[in-house]
Homo-oligomer: A and B are copies of this chain.
Amino acid sequence: MPTRAEIEEAGMAALLGAGVPLPHARRQLDLLLEAELRGLPSHGLLRLPRVIERIANGVTDPHTSGEAHWRGAAFLEVEGRQGLGPVVAMAALDAISGRVAETGIAVAAIRNCDHLGMLAFYAEQVAASGRILIALTISEALVHPWGGRSAMLGTNPIAIGVPAHPDPFVFDMATSIVAMGRIHDHAARGEPIPEGWALDAEGNPTTDAARARDGALAPFGGPKGYALGLAFEVLVGSLTACALGPAVKGTLDSTAPCNKGDIFIVLEPATGAASAISAFLEEVRQSPPADPDRPVRVPGDRANQTHAMRQQGDIPLPDAVWQPILRLAGKSKV
């Protein structure tokens, strides 16, 4: 198992070798590492080879951080120009965060940059700096409507970061019942998936993970989760004029320019709110559990535990993820 320093060295070598400028490489790698630290490997270093393939294929421009203009005093419109997700996103976030002291709220409406990765990354940073973040993004159509047969919606996650002690409150969740990565995991291991997770390519319910891969994920929470995911897609579409539904491309493959949209809203909390929020979260944690051995958790508790453990030790990286990165790093040194 590689050490964290080895992972960082190989990751940076791979990105720099692909022509990514140093600060952009650092930002992209930080995002992927942070997902590993928080225990979300589906959004971690597994994704590095695809980032590099997309650059090699000319569908991602590693140099740009997008082109921004203020549509209003608190509304930043960002044309991503096929830049790296975290590079364009962090530039937009910095710009609107700088505006919030004056306006109290500001929004960035981003389109046409690559996958932003784990939204908790952004929520955690904004909340740790004392502000609130609401983040939304859409993806290629992977989720079927409630009562439908085919994928018409993205997995459309929402993240919310709110200042609190000792850790900021960080919530990050897709509106699909599971991530498509979980289906791929089951397929790779030849295991069935639970009923209700997915439809096959013909739109029929399936527990065969391999068939589900070509089909559609269920929304979480039945008709309500479907409505929520659709509302988020419509909201992002209305603000960014991005592609929608089956027209969204470039979030999963290595060959299509990415045409989805993302929204960041940064807000100023009320004075002293962090203490009240922290006390309330603690009250929820201390409330009586259904199972005496399993205390009530609040969103982010598990990720924070994992993060604390992993920051002091190694990151468990399967060989199937590590070897391709090593190869990319080696190639880059030639």
Instruction: Name A's B-contacting residues (CB within 8 A).
Output: 70-75, 77, 100-107, 109, 132, 134, 145-150, 152-153, 158, 160, 162-164, 169, 171, 173, 203, 220-222, 224-225, 227-228, 230-235, 237-241, 244-246, 265, 267-274, 276-277, 280-281, 283-284, 287-291, 294, 296-299
Contacts and interface: CB of A to CB of B under 8 A. Distances in A.
A245 B288 contact: no
A148 B296 contact: yes
Contacts of A227: 171, 173, 298-299
Contacts of A132: 235, 238-239
A171 B231 contact: yes
B238 A75 contact: no
A103 B238 contact: no
Contacts of A284: 145, 148, 152-153, 230, 245
A163 B238 contact: yes
- Chain copies in the assembly? 2
A150 to B, nearest CB: 6
5 contacts: A74-B74, A162-B231, A162-B234, A163-B238, A221-B224
A173 B232 CA distance: 13
A231 B160 CA distance: 7
A148 to B, nearest CB: 5
Given A74-B104, A152-B284, A230-B284, A291 B237 contact: no
A103 B73 contact: yes
